[in-house]
Chains A and B, each alone.
Chain A
Amino acid sequence: MLTRMTVRDFRCLASVEVEPHPRLTFVVGRNAQGKTSLLEAVCVLMRLQSPRTSTRSDWLRFGAESCLIEGVWEQHLLRHAQTKSSRRLAVNGAVCSRAAEYLSASALVVWLDHADMNLARGGAEHRRRHLDFTAAQLFPEYLTALRQYDRALRARNFLLKRDINISWRQVDAHGVIMDKNSAIIVRCRRELVRRIQPWIADAQLKLSGAAEAASAVYAPGFEGDSLLAALENMRDAESRTRQTAVGTHRDDLLLSVGGRDAGAFASEGQQRTLCLALKLAQARVLEEEKGVAPLLLLDDVFGELDPERRQALLDYLPRGSQKIVTTTALHWMTDESSDASILRVEDGNVRSVD
């Protein structure tokens, strides 16, 4: 549980102190006042990364030399300081030189926002990134395999483009590395989809309030068991197109609602619910694995839902987890959700509302 957080010079937040509610905190304010930045600060404090940017210097408030986020999570005092070019991490006052050390003391996080719609509507890369984010937290061997695969793939594509006469011996040497690592990636992704499948179905049913059966099926980016053999069959195509034709970098997650392809046939409401269901399934799977509920950060998700789905979502959010929710208005809030605290954000200042 996040009990206290201090933020200094982060985005538009000059100096903010908050004490989130053990279960549910609403962060309320008009657009561009700093709601999302506050939520982002929580995410950075816990995972050292942000869904909004991969450029860390973006976090610094205009004109500031450094930013600081400090918070107490499960008896650990976490401290993250960032300058334009470097960062300093500490747990309970002791400096952590390795990020892994810090991350093992902080919370797992599930972030939900309107960009999640890309899971249903966008290209396969959005769904792969979603799988990667979860798999990396579940399977220790996953990230190394993914990095090695990507590096070998980049080298292989480079080789295919570089020479007029393709040096297949060099190309194939990289295919072997891709094959070895794709075996690990495919096994983990398959296992992950197996674990999230029941949760997606469950979440979709409860969130939609109707019998909308949802499913997610893993679709590998090559046929057969051996990527090496699949690549071998693509020689002609690769000589023409000059890029790697098959592989686990073309994997997809096929989503459907009521038996029909979600991207093409589902209504906007159904798609929205499905994307929420995917994210919440991720939270359940992480909880099952680690025994601790992840911190749920919901950025402006409620405003886009109709009242029934909104209430259904509120009811469905895992009871044991701590939730921080940004929203522009609270008029829809009912008595059931009143066991919550409210923070009002205005022009980079945060005050708590009784």
Chain B
Amino acid sequence: MNANYPAPIQRLILLLKSLPGLGPRSAERLMLWLMGRGHTRIPELAEALVHLRNHVTECPACGFFIERGAACLFCQSDKRNQKLLCVVESAADVLRLERSGAFSGIYHVLGGKLSPLDNVTPSDLRIESLARRVHELQSEEVIIALGSDVEGESTAHYLADLLRPLGVRITRLAQGMPAGGGLEQVDELTLHQAMSGRRLLES
């Protein structure tokens, strides 16, 4: 006979394993914690997950997270320059740029990068809505703040090519960003300098 954990535990491990960044070993470690010292935290965790699902959503305009029915920190703020639009890959990048304190415009979260080899096409990203927003907001400048790997760079050029006919100024972060890396790899000071020293993206 093959000994194994009781079925509910097997199911949990299967679920945890399917989460990004968790391999079989870390899934098992997490399960052991939940069955041990973390046992009392389970209701709290479960409640937080359900609450997340019911009450948090994406801002229909920029894609950053908001609580249902609440105003967007950026899109609906008169303290932000609504003519200045910064394109980022993920919501986490928004906060990174915010912490750097170098940017006072609004954001557009793409939700990924174009990658034909991974089957990520323009329709998988928030690209159509980006073009629409640039037009509607009559943006003066679009700053493309994507990583400097092949996918980030080719997405940047794709977007620049798409937006250029709208007559908007298109810039990108200054050099000093690590080759092949995303925004998560740099500290706030570097990000600040990259944003202040941004330059025109040429075709």
Contact = CB atoms under 8 A, between A and B. Distances in A.
Nearest to B150: A151
Interface string A163-180: 000000110111011001
B158 A144 contact: no
Contacts of A169: 158, 161-162
A79 to B, nearest CB: 25
Contact of B117 (A148, A154, A177): A154
A155 interface: yes
A170 B117 contact: no
A144 B154 CA distance: 16
Interface core residue of A173, A174, A177 (most chain B CB under 10 Å): A173
A177 B180 CA distance: 12
Nearest to A156: B116
Contacts of A176: 153-154, 157, 203
Interface in B113-137: 114-117, 122
A162 interface: yes
Given A144-B180, A154-B117, A155-B115, A177 B154 contact: yes
Given A144-B180, A148-B180, A155-B150, A173 B116 contact: no
B116 A159 contact: yes
Interface string B177-188: 001100000000
A234 B118 CA distance: 26
A158 interface: yes
A290 to B, nearest CB: 24
Contacts of A159: 116
A327 to B, nearest CB: 44
A345 interface: no
Interface in B148-183: 149-150, 153-158, 161-162, 179-180
A347 B115 CA distance: 51
A152 interface: yes
Given A162-B116, A170-B114, A152 B154 contact: yes
A152 B180 contact: no
Contacts of B203: 176
A162 B119 CA distance: 10
A261 to B, nearest CB: 36
Contacts of A162: 116
A177 B116 contact: no
Contacts of B153: 176-177, 180
A154 B150 CA distance: 11
A178 B179 CA distance: 15
B116 A158 contact: yes
Contacts of A152: 150, 154
A170 B116 contact: yes
A169 B150 CA distance: 15
A288 B117 CA distance: 40
A172 B154 CA distance: 9
A80 B195 CA distance: 44
A170 B115 contact: no
Given A144-B179, A159-B116, A177 B150 contact: yes
A227 to B, nearest CB: 14
A169 B155 CA distance: 10
Nearest to A170: B158
Contacts of A174: 150, 154
Contacts of B162: 169
Contacts of A155: 115-117, 150, 154
A82 B96 CA distance: 40
B44 to A, nearest CB: 36
B74 to A, nearest CB: 27
Interface of B: 114-117, 122, 149-150, 153-158, 161-162, 179-180, 203
Given A158-B116, A169-B161, 19 more contacts: A151-B150, A154-B117, A155-B116, A155-B150, A159-B116, A169-B158, A169-B162, A170-B114, A170-B116, A170-B158, A172-B157, A173-B155, A173-B158, A173-B161, A174-B154, A176-B153, A176-B203, A177-B153, A177-B157
Closest 7 pairs between A and B when the two form their complex, measured CB to CB: A173-B158, A173-B157, A173-B154, A151-B150, A155-B116, A176-B157, A158-B116
9 contacts: A151-B117, A152-B154, A172-B157, A173-B114, A173-B157, A173-B158, A174-B154, A176-B153, A177-B153
